[in-house]
Amino acid sequence: MKATTQPPLLSAVLSLAATSFAFCTETPEAKPFGKTKDGAPVEVFTLVNKQGVKLRAMTYGATVLSLETPDRNGKSADIVLGYKTLGQYEKSSPYFGAIVGRYGNRIAGGKFTLQGKEYKLAENNGAPGLKSSLHGGLRGFDKVVWKAEPLAQDGAQGVRFSYLSKDGEEGYPGNLEVKVTYWLNDQNEWRVDYEMASDKATPVNLTQHSYFNLKGEGRGDILGHELTVPAAKFTPVNAAMIPTGELRSVAGTPLDFNQPKAIGARIQADDEQLRLGGGYDHNFVLKRPLFSGLSGRGTFPAATVHEPETGRVLTILTSEPGIQFYSGNFLDGTLTGKAGARYPKRSGFCLETQHYPDSPNQPSFPSTILKPGKVLKSTTVFQFGVK
């Protein structure tokens, strides 16, 4: 066989073509999504992959507006709850699709003591006498406009949202720099990378607050979805929805999801914890090595949800030590979703990867205190499949 030698120019062209082929994923474009009532422009980014998955996210709250995935027959539906307009998000949203922080979930009595000093937060949740600070206070990270930078890698589109939460904002200490990056890759994974640094010690606990309905948003309740959570224990709550401090075994309770169980199978059971939560609204202690303090980046399985009618499967992996399973108990049919359907009770569920609620007041829980000079990194991956 005769050896052929390519002229240098042709081989240069071929290698350039190979390089650009390897990095041909386009950077997503920013499009306007209206202005807040204060006049701040909000942008939306659309991430798409080669398998027909499409995720739209806006700079207000780093909120995921829609997430389209195929069912077992290849038919796409939008599997997250949300609104059509920015105005609706601003008016009243139960944190649809947003990043919540500086502290996701509750802090008892809206206060904590750090390095001998008491900090007071807004008590924006609970009945009189049972008050707490929920999801970062009155104007948490879900209600601010983030900066955004579109990104692309081989086989993945992304957007990096960043926000500077000033010292004293919502009562929390320290200037906290936050970066949250969404990646959508061709393997049908939506990856959320969190990165935070502060100039003073502060509690931090960010999470992604999407409400899923794997049948499609607006298509009834989620009670037939089958959930698996690999957790031997959960953090039981008191009447104020604050953890008692106990890590209680799930064995023999309706909170045992170690084997797949329909969400609705035991939701009406005569169980104190389900009564207190009005359904499921509990933090599960994930079966994985507990990091002392803030976690590293390796992810572990946290939950799987299978929807039998459409075959959609959602698998969640995280580096966080806990996950809040909230069965949409406070949805009550008063909110109208983006396609015009109302959202009745339990028409969406949240699986919020996190550190445990009220950790700043619970010395036995893994610490949520970010110290100055440290960078906190955390990752959660949402995988979309069918079976």
Nearer to ligand BGC, 80 or 159 (CB): 80
Separation of alpha carbons 246 and 232, rounded Å? 13
141 sits near ligand BGC (criterion: CB under 6 A): no
281 sits near ligand BGC (criterion: CB under 6 A): yes
**Cβ contacts of 344 within 8 Å, gap of 6 or more:** 221, 331, 332, 333
Phi and psi, residue 20, nearest 5°: -70, -25
95 sits near ligand BGC (criterion: CB under 6 A): yes
Q: Copy the structure tokens of residue 104.
A: 């996701």
350 sits near ligand BGC (criterion: CB under 6 A): yes
Footprint of ligand BGC on 102-131 (CB under 6 A): 105
Separation of alpha carbons 184 and 307, rounded Å? 22
**Count of CB atoms within 10 A of residue 55's CB?**
26
Q: Which residue is nearest to ligand BGC (CB)?
A: 94
CA 374 to chain centre: 23
Q: Which listed residue (43, 78, 169, 352) binds ligand BGC by CB under 6 A?
A: 352
Nearer to ligand BGC, 125 or 165 (CB): 125
**Cβ contacts of 3 within 8 Å, gap of 6 or more:** none
Footprint of ligand BGC on 206-265 (CB under 6 A): 241
CA 200 to chain centre: 25
Nearer to ligand BGC, 59 or 283 (CB): 283
327 sits near ligand BGC (criterion: CB under 6 A): no
Q: Catalytic amino acids?
A: 209, 352
Query: Which conformational region is residue 351 in: left (phi greater than 0), alpha (psi within -120 to 50 degrees), or beta?
Result: beta
CA 12 to chain centre: 45
Q: Which stretch binds ligand BGC (CB under 6 A): 77-85, 251-259, 262-270, 322-330?
A: 322-330
Q: Which listed residue (324, 327, 353, 362) binds ligand BGC by CB under 6 A?
A: 324
Nearer to ligand BGC, 183 or 284 (CB): 284
* Contact set with ligand BGC (CB under 6 A): 94-95, 105, 241, 281, 324, 326, 330, 350, 352
